[in-house]
Amino acid sequence: MNKVKGLLAAVALTAGLSTLVGCMETAGTVVTTDHATGSTLVLEDSTRLRDQVQVLRVNYDEINGLKRVHVTLASTKHKQLRVQYRIAWFDANGMELDPDSKTYRDLILEGRDAVTVTGVANSAAAVSSKLRVRDAAVAGY
């Protein structure tokens, strides 16, 4: 009987630790802009990042026949914040255009400061963009 209780306690402890380790939040803020309809959707998947970074404005235009997006991010904290961002472009079918060329870039937001990040599509077939922002510390960089 004591062996069964000990085994159950060990299983419960292992499951609890696995859950805690697996709960590290790597999600971030996602800003999706449809350049054809003009709609913008902001998803804040990280409770930690939601309290630190705010999306102030989303503008878009065209330059030399290519779509361009400008997203203004602001720090809501008084301390310096290090995040990473990536802007991906999608065609009318929702397929990402040239995903291998778009890596995350570092961005430092000073306390209570706002910064505008800009992305230009690498193809005239692009109709929508998606900005992903993640916490650099959680991402491990």
Mean pLDDT of all residues belonging to the chain? 83
Q: Does residue 10 surpass a pLDDT of 80?
A: no
Residue that is written with structure tokens 């505008």 in the block: 116
Using one digit for the tens of pLDDT, what is the confidence trace for 101-139?
Answer: 778 999 999 999 999 999 999 999 999 999 999 998 876
| Nearest CA among 62, 81, 78, 77 for reference residue 119 | 62
Diameter over CA atoms, the chain: 76
pTM for this entry: 0.77
Domains of the chain: 25-139 (2.60.40.3230)
Using one digit for the tens of pLDDT, what is the confidence trace for 43-73?
Answer: 988 888 988 999 999 999 999 999 999 999 9
Q: What is the DSSP letter of 9?
A: H
d(CA 139, CA 120): 25
Using one digit for the tens of pLDDT, what is the confidence trace for 75-109?
Answer: 999 999 999 999 999 999 999 998 887 789 999 99
**CA 132 → CA 2, 14, 16, 88, 105, distances in Å?**
51, 33, 30, 8, 10
Question: Containing H/E element for 34?
Answer: strand 29-34
